[in-house]
Amino acid sequence: MSLLELGIGISAAVRSPRWIEGSHLDQLMRDPERPVLVSRDPALATKASAIALRLLARLPLTPWHNTCLYRSVAECIALRHCGIAARLRLGVARESGAEEAITAHAWVERPGGDGADQDHVPLCFDR
């Protein structure tokens, strides 16, 4: 793993709480305006972000959580910094076996990828 991808991944994981708790989350749910830079291997950057997030989430009294929302935000940030037009998606689904219970899920969609979640219906936040 090169230092560039490692840095992109760690930076994305570190910044994820600020994107979730701040007013920037809607920016990740829209198509990006332009790529920031191009990396040789975005898969390495997303792997680094996932590993960093898992480690940060183990620290006590910190804002990081190893949930689908935090993982997806970190992945989306890392992919965008690698020049990939990634988009964060949030969705809901009925929990199997329970009539009234619903589950929420976050995932990342990107061009040419199979990011669709067949079990969850994407929520629309377009203005």
In a domain, 14, yes or no: yes
**φ, ψ for residue 107, nearest 5 deg:** -150, 170
Domain assignment of residue 119, yes or no: no
Residue 78 pLDDT class (50, 70, 90 cuts): very high
Print the domain residue range for 57: 3-89
Length of the chain counted residue by residue? 127
Could you give the number of structural domains in the chain?
Answer: 1
Confidence of residue 46 (pLDDT cuts 50, 70, 90): very high
CA–CA separation, 25 and 20 (whole Å) = 6
